[in-house]
Amino acid sequence: MAEAGALLADVFHALGQLKLEGQSTLEINDFVERMIIDDLQARPASKGQYDFPYVLNASIDDVVCHGMPSENDVLRSGQIVNFDITLEKNGYIADSSTTYLVGEVAYPARRLVSATYNAMWKGIAAVRPGARLGDIGHAIAHYARAQGYSVVKEYCGHGIGREMHEDPQILHYGHPHTGLELKEGMVFTIEPMLNQGKAAVRSYPDQWPVYTRDGKLSAQFEHTVAVTRTGVRVLTLRPGETPPCKME
């Protein structure tokens, strides 16, 4: 799983080097597909899963998650866009996402993106043997609300391994000292979605994208993490990435 995570981190590192402005989300999908298959000799795990035809989700501005790559969505300066990608190597899957700033982005959107990143890390910092799932959710939601943002409740993190989605569900809200106890060897994702306005989302029958109900911005970050003997290991840690908060 660490190998799959490291390869996926390389994909995000490469995405971070790209000039996103002026590219369609379909072009970016194709770039990522070629890198995963040709350069990394791995499999894009989302392609074909649930009949999904792409290797990533591209969720722009008020799209909360599950945005579809499209040649019509050419990224413009001022937008925020989340790319959510899964990769399988030697039978094991890693799952991660980053919200990128396109060109010059206004302060309110930058602040949301930064707070969402920090909220994910607050959750990661709560992971250790003996902690409970409610500790993770509480750490995320408590921080998000203190920053003036709401947490989407309809979508959550998940166990991951040979399958993309395994038990348990990892809620991004909760009460301390409640829920399943974490044990060494568990691997799951932490992937909070924070909204600028209200938490409510809207989706449409037979369509993938999920939108904020009030049309305000939403951001998301995701890492795949493993519970170690003494704490947590972030399997999809990017080259050069360091936690923005104190890890217990």
Residues that bind Mg ion (CB under 5 A): 95, 189
Select 61 or 95, whichever has its Cβ closest to Mg ion: 95
Select 62 or 95, whichever has its Cβ closest to Mg ion: 95
Select 116 or 189, whichever has its Cβ closest to Mg ion: 189
**In the complex, least distance from residue 169 CB atom to Mg ion, rounded to whole angstroms:** 11
**Greatest CA separation for the chain:** 48
Select 29 or 103, whichever has its Cβ closest to Mg ion: 29
Select 29 or 96, whichever has its Cβ closest to Mg ion: 96
- Residue 244: CB atoms within 10 Å: 12
**In the complex, least distance from residue 195 CB atom to Mg ion, rounded to whole angstroms:** 18
**In the complex, least distance from residue 139 CB atom to Mg ion, rounded to whole angstroms:** 18
> Look-up: residue for tokens 């993770």?
136
**In the complex, least distance from residue 189 CB atom to Mg ion, rounded to whole angstroms:** 4
Select 145 or 165, whichever has its Cβ closest to Mg ion: 165
Q: Give the Cα separation of 182 and 175 in Å (integer).
A: 15
- Residue 151, beta-bridge partner list: 194
**In the complex, least distance from residue 86 CB atom to Mg ion, rounded to whole angstroms:** 7
**In the complex, least distance from residue 95 CB atom to Mg ion, rounded to whole angstroms:** 4
Q: Give the Cα separation of 87 and 166 in Å (integer).
A: 15
Q: How many residues does the chain have?
A: 248
Token pair, residue 224, equals: 């795949």
Q: What is the dihedral of CA 48, 50, 51, 57, to 10 degrees?
A: -80
Complete DSSP assignment for 6-61: HHHHHHHHHHHHS--TT-BHHHHHHHHHHIIIIIS--EETTTTGGG--SSEEEEET
Complete DSSP assignment for 144-190: HHHTT-EE--S--EEE-SSSSSEEEEE-SS--TT-SPBP-TT-EEEE
Select 85 or 125, whichever has its Cβ closest to Mg ion: 85
Which residue's Cβ has the minimum distance to Mg ion? 95
**In the complex, least distance from residue 248 CB atom to Mg ion, rounded to whole angstroms:** 24
